[in-house]
Amino acid sequence: MPRAVKRFRQSFPSAIVTLSIMTSASVRNHVVDGEYDLGLAADEVDLSGVEHQVFGSFPALCAIPAGHRLASKKVIRPEDFDGVDYVALSPEDRARLQFDRFCEQAGAKPNLVIETPFAITACALALEGVGIGIVNPLAIDGFAERGLIFRPFEPAVYFKSYLLFRPDMQKARLVRAFVSSLLAVRNVRSAVRVDV
């Protein structure tokens, strides 16, 4: 989001952007109520009452504290989580549900330490050594530079997200421009590879 705001403001320097971080359900409700022109929400959100389009689907990464025994692995699998301290996303998060299903199928029992609705918070907790998290790659900016290790998780778990609009707001010039900025930085970000 910060990259999209920067890009947008290069074209519209006098525009004022209000950015609020909240759960997907809250984002949807604020868009439906007309309080926001645009929202970005995870795929567990109720799409009724809003215009929407798919923003993207991104394979999850494992956020691992430096020095953790799993940091040396190239790929993390469900069985690697058995008995490992785990920073989980909220129970309704679809990526978490996929992850839980894979662990159950593998007979792995992660040691759930804390739950959070935000991947960026999971990264911050992993950075502090609280546990390992399954995170959206769009939320990892700046954490590798601070020492957090990222590895792919297999089988793949996906974070799917939607852009939400108030009715007819997709047609507004500034909304279209901001969406273009979001899509442009999404494509740049998805082209970045995590070293393994």
- Confidence at 166, pLDDT banded by 50, 70, 90: confident
For residue 61, the cross-strand partners are 135, 152
101-153 pLDDT, tens digit each: 999 999 999 999 999 999 999 999 999 999 999 999 988 988 999 999 999 99
Count the alpha carbons within 13 Å of 107 in the hemisphere toward its beta carbon.
0
Q: Where are the domains of the chain?
A: 2-56+159-190, 61-156
Between 3.40.50.880, 3.40.190.10, 3.30.530.20, 3.40.605.10, what CATH number should domain 2-56+159-190 receive?
3.40.190.10
The domain at 61-156 falls in which architecture? 3-Layer(aba) Sandwich (3.40)
Tokens of 161: 């997200």
Whether the domain at 2-56+159-190 and the domain at 61-156 fall into the same CATH topology: yes
Mean pLDDT across 82-105: 95
Least confident range of 28-32, 41-45, 57-61, 70-74? 41-45
Tokens 């108030």 found at: 166
Alpha carbon distance 35, 53 (integer Å) = 19
pLDDT for res 141: 86
Decide: residue 36, CB within 10 A, 0-12 exposed, 13-18 middle, 19+ buried. buried
Query: Is it the case that residue 188 has pLDDT exceeding 70?
Result: no
pLDDT for res 108: 97
Query: Across the chain, what does the average pLDDT equal?
Result: 89
What is the full DSSP assignment across 90-121?
PTT-HHHHHHHHHHHHHT---EEEEEES-HHH
CB 156 within 8 A of CB 58: no
Query: Is it the case that residue 85 has pLDDT exceeding 90?
Result: yes
